[in-house]
């Protein structure tokens, strides 16, 4: 077991973690933050995408102990003072989600994209989402939702 210190959505957490524990399970099972979901076991689907120091990572490919001392933002930490993030709002107005299982990861990937490239083209948006799979929407409304905020 190793002691780690995580900042998650602005809250400081001191945890004893097994070295094998993946960040996504630390978030889901130890901290009760179930927004990030698990959709695969090969780092393919991106449902578990969160921000690590502001950049998107698949939290199934980061060990909890690797996040020691870092700042993590999950979907639960995106809205500020009850107001949805513009991307969350845009996903709703553009019907960019159906079952919603991939949505937290998709939104976090989009947040990261726009932080890096505030005016992406459609092709750049599609390319940036390559690691996030959605089975419901066919992606079109997700792309539109991001374009509307960019």
Partner 1 sequence: MMVAPIELEIGEAIGAPVERKEDHKLLVGQAQWVDNMRVPGMAYMAVVRSPYAHARITRVDVAPALAHADVVAAYSAADLQEEWAGSLPCAWLPTEDTKAPPHLPLAADKARYVGDGVAVVVASSRAAAEDAAELVEVEYEPLPAIVDPEAALAEGAPLVHDELGTNRCYTWRLDAGEVDALFDEAEVIVRGRFRQNRLIPTAIEPRAVLVQPLPANGEFTMWSTTQVPHIARVTLSGVLGIPEAKLRVIAPDVGGGFGSKLNVYAEEALALGLARRLGRAIKWTEGRSEGYLATIHGRDQWQEIELAANADGKISAVRARVVAAMGAYLQLVTPGIPLLGAWLYAGAYDVQGYSFECTGVFTHTTPTDAYRGAGRPEATYAIERAVDALAAKLGKDPVEVRRLNFIREFPNAIAAGLTIDSGDYDAGLDLALGTAGYKELRTEQAERRAKGDPKRLGIGLSTYVEMCGLAPSKILGAIRYSAGGWDTATIRCLPTGTVQVLTGVSPHGQGHETTWSQIAADLLGYDVDEIEVLHGDTAVVPLGMDTYGSRSLAVGGVALYFAAERIVAKARLIAAHKLGVEPSQVDYVRGRFTGPEDSIALKDIALAAWTAHDLPDGVEPGLEASFVYDPPNFSWPSGAHLAVVEVDTETGNVEVLRYIAVDDVGTVVNPLIVDGQIHGGIAQGIAQALFEEAVYDDDGNLLTGNMVSYLVPSAPDLPSYELDRTETPSPTNPLGVKGVGETGAIASPAAVINAVCDALAADGVTDIQMPATPERVWRALEEAKR
Which residues are at the interface with partner 1 (CB under 8 A)? 20, 28, 33-42, 44-45, 47, 74-76, 78-79, 84, 88, 91-93, 95, 97-104, 107, 122-123, 125-127, 129-143
By beta-carbon proximity to partner 1, the closer residue of 69 and 93 is: 93
Q: Work out how close the CB of 126 gets to partner 1 at its nearest, in angstroms, rounded to a whole number.
A: 4
In whole angstroms, what is the distance from residue 89 CA to residue 95 CA? 10
| Beta strands per DSSP E along the chain | 2-8, 11-17, 49-52, 55-58, 71-73
Judged by phi (left if over 0) then psi (alpha if -120 to 50, else beta), residue 120 lies in: beta
Note whether 3 and 28 are within 8 A (CB): no
Find the shortest distance in angstroms from Cβ 82 to partner 1.
10
End-to-end distance of the chain based on CA atoms, in angstroms?
43
Query: Are the CB atoms for 39 and 136 separated by under 8 Å?
Result: no
Nearer to partner 1, 2 or 135 (CB): 135
Q: How far is the CB of 24 from partner 1 (least distance, A)?
A: 11
Residue number with CB closer to partner 1 (23 or 78): 78
CB of 140 to partner 1, least distance (A): 5
**Which CB sits closer to partner 1, 7 or 98?**
98
Question: Residue 32 Cβ, how far from partner 1 at the closest point, in Å?
Answer: 9
By beta-carbon proximity to partner 1, the closer residue of 5 and 34 is 34
Phi then psi for 7, rounded to 5 degrees?
-105, 115
């Amino acid at each position: 077991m190793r002691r780690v210190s995580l900042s998650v959505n602005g809250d400081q957490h001191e945890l004893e973690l097994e070295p094998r524990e993946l960040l996504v399970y630390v978030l889901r099972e130890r901290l009760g933050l179930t927004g990030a979901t698990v959709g695969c076991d090969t780092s393919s689907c991106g449902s578990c995408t969160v921000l690590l120091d502001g950049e998107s990572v698949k939290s199934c490919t980061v060990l909890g102990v690797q996040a020691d001392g870092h700042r993590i933002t999950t979907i639960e930490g995106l809205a500020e003072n009850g107001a949805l993030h513009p991307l969350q709002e845009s996903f709703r107005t553009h019907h960019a989600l159906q079952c919603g299982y991939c949505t937290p990861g998709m939104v976090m990937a989009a947040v990261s994209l726009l932080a890096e490239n505030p005016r992406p083209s459609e092709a750049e948006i599609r390319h940036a989402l390559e690691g996030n799979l959605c089975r419901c929407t066919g992606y079109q409304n997700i792309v539109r939702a991001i374009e509307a905020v960019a």
